[in-house]
Amino acid sequence: MELTFLGTSAGVPCKSRNVTAMVFNPMNNAAQYWLFDCGEGTQHQMLHTVFNPGKLNKIFITHLHGDHIFGLPGLLCSRSMAGNENPLTVYGPAGIRQFIEMALQLSGSWTGFPLEIVEITAGEVFCDEEFRVTAYPLTHPVECYGYRIEQHDRPGALDASRLKAEGITPGPLFQQLKRGESVMLDDGRMINGQDYLGPARKGKTLAIFGDTGPTSAALTLASGVDVMVHETTLEAAMAEKANSRGHSTTVQAAEVARAAGVGRLVITHFSSRYDDAGCEALLRECREIFPDTIAAKDFMTVQI
Ligand SMILES: [Zn+2]
Ligand SMILES: [Zn+2]
């Protein structure tokens, strides 16, 4: 499971950083990807990666500020013009439907693939056999959400070599045993898959914050996650300015990471006032409070 940053600049792009977007590759199998936010130029950034928009099947939008959504119409149209017919679902706050439909309609565009738009509220957004995604309301001038992505716990690995040693040959039977079911063998033996499974593997967890000032929801959203992605728009000394605009500082993000007991903090959404050295200074401020912090860069991939 991995997360690739396509844009890490706040508000406006700069030469080395585009505006916000992240590709979540849930299965490491390149069969499907999710996108979190879609700032202007996201489709251009994708061209420099292995990620093909045709394989995006979910887009989660944190809020409707332009630096998080202005890339959507172009991406959707290009995905359609490339002949992709795979369905795509866009999740986002109220207004995301109107934005997409208006942009497509006024530009005489359409999508040649099934497009579902889901306007979300706080709570569970999506759940299937592999993942659960929950939205938490944040503190920002417009309705804004952070997403918690939880992979369900998975059964332990099947001890195939022990099965083979006992004369049980690989086949469809193994799939049943993998699910922990009991099966009857041709020779009349009854075996229980549970006896051949290793310990259950704990699902991974990830918290992706949208833009936000300090908020009480942060601790629940990020509680115990393996990786927490949080904005640090400004440095610690500019807390008043940051918070008055619904943004956080380095120290505020790091304090959330520490209090929520996360594994790793990834900071992003840096004001364009900071060059690379400035972002390094932001990183140092975080590490003083939460040492296991890394600063995102465009095209950086984080393993989860
Ligand atoms: Zn922003
Ligand atoms: Zn914003």
Gap between the terminal Cα atoms of the chain: 5
Higher pLDDT, 174 or 41: 41
Residue among 201, 196, 200 at smallest CA distance from 158: 196
- CA distances in angstroms from 259 to 14, 74, 216, 298, listed in the order given: 33, 39, 11, 28
| Least confident piece of the model among 193-202, 213-222, 248-257, 284-293 | 193-202
pLDDT at residue 119, as a whole number:
98
Say whether both 111 and 179 belong to one domain.
Answer: no
pLDDT bin (cut points 50, 70, 90) of residue 214 is very high
65 is in an annotated binding site: yes
Say whether both 175 and 288 belong to one domain.
Answer: no
Report the predicted TM-score, pTM, of the whole model to 2 decimal places.
0.91
pLDDT in tens, 156-181: 888 888 888 888 888 888 888 888 88
Higher pLDDT, 30 or 192: 192
Residue among 161, 157, 201 at smallest CA distance from 179: 157
C-alpha torsion angle, residues 103, 134, 279, 257 (rounded to 10): 170
Tokens of 47: 């061209």
140 is in an annotated binding site: yes
Residue 255 reports pLDDT greater than 90: yes
d(CA 10, CA 124): 27
The mean pLDDT of 71-99, rounded to a whole number, is 96
What ligand is nearest to the CA atom of residue 8? 1
The mean pLDDT of 230-247, rounded to a whole number, is 97
64 CA from centroid of ligand 1 (Å): 9
pLDDT at residue 75, as a whole number:
98
Q: Of 196, 219, 248, which marks where a domain is finished?
A: 196
Say whether both 25 and 135 belong to one domain.
Answer: yes
Say whether both 252 and 181 belong to one domain.
Answer: no
d(CA 299, CA 279): 16
| Least confident piece of the model among 90-99, 141-150, 162-171 | 162-171
Say whether both 240 and 126 belong to one domain.
Answer: yes
Residue 279 reports pLDDT greater than 80: yes
pLDDT at residue 29, as a whole number:
67
113 CA from centroid of ligand 2 (Å): 29
CB burial of 208-236 (b: ≥16 within 10 Å; e: otherwise) equals bbbbbbbbebbeebbeebbbbbbbbbbbb
Give 3-state DSSP helix, strand, coil % of the chain, rounded to 5.
30, 30, 40
The mean pLDDT of 109-130, rounded to a whole number, is 96
Q: Which residues surround ligand 2, an ion (CB under 5 A)?
A: 65, 211
Alpha helix ranges (H) inside 136-178? 160-165, 172-178
Residue 66 reports pLDDT greater than 90: yes
d(CA 252, CA 243): 10
Please tell me the total count of domains within the chain. 2
What ligand is nearest to the CA atom of residue 37? 1
Range of the domain at 164: 160-196
78 CA from centroid of ligand 2 (Å): 25
pLDDT at residue 95, as a whole number:
98
8 CA from centroid of ligand 1 (Å): 9
What ligand is nearest to the CA atom of residue 212? 2
The mean pLDDT of 210-214, rounded to a whole number, is 97
Tokens of 17: 């950083």
CATH number of the domain where residue 220 is located:
3.60.15.10
pLDDT bin (cut points 50, 70, 90) of residue 188 is confident
Higher pLDDT, 302 or 165: 302
208 neighbors 133 (Cβ within 8 angstroms): no
Say whether both 28 and 127 belong to one domain.
Answer: yes
pLDDT at residue 209, as a whole number:
98
pLDDT at residue 163, as a whole number:
87
- Cα angle, residue 154 at apex, residues 148 and 159 outer, rounded to 5°: 155
152 is in an annotated binding site: no
Residue among 231, 155, 167 at smallest CA distance from 193: 155
Residues of the chain with pLDDT > 70: what percent? 99
DSSP 21-36: EEEEESSSSSS-EEEE
Q: Of 196, 215, 249, which marks where a domain is finished?
A: 196
* Rounded CA Rg of the chain: 22
37 is in an annotated binding site: no
Say whether both 41 and 183 belong to one domain.
Answer: no
What ligand is nearest to the CA atom of residue 144? 2
69 CA from centroid of ligand 1 (Å): 10
Say whether both 55 and 190 belong to one domain.
Answer: no
Say whether both 247 and 222 belong to one domain.
Answer: yes
Say whether both 78 and 14 belong to one domain.
Answer: yes
195 is in an annotated binding site: no
Say whether both 182 and 256 belong to one domain.
Answer: no
The edge-to-edge listing of strands for the beta sheet with 2-7 is 115-119, 88-92, 56-60, 33-38, 21-25, 2-7, 301-303
Catalytic residues: 67
63 is in an annotated binding site: yes
Residues of the chain with pLDDT > 90: what percent? 82
82 neighbors 112 (Cβ within 8 angstroms): no
d(CA 155, CA 195): 12
163 CA from centroid of ligand 2 (Å): 55
245 CA from centroid of ligand 1 (Å): 10
Q: Of 196, 222, 254, which marks where a domain is finished?
A: 196
Say whether both 130 and 240 belong to one domain.
Answer: yes
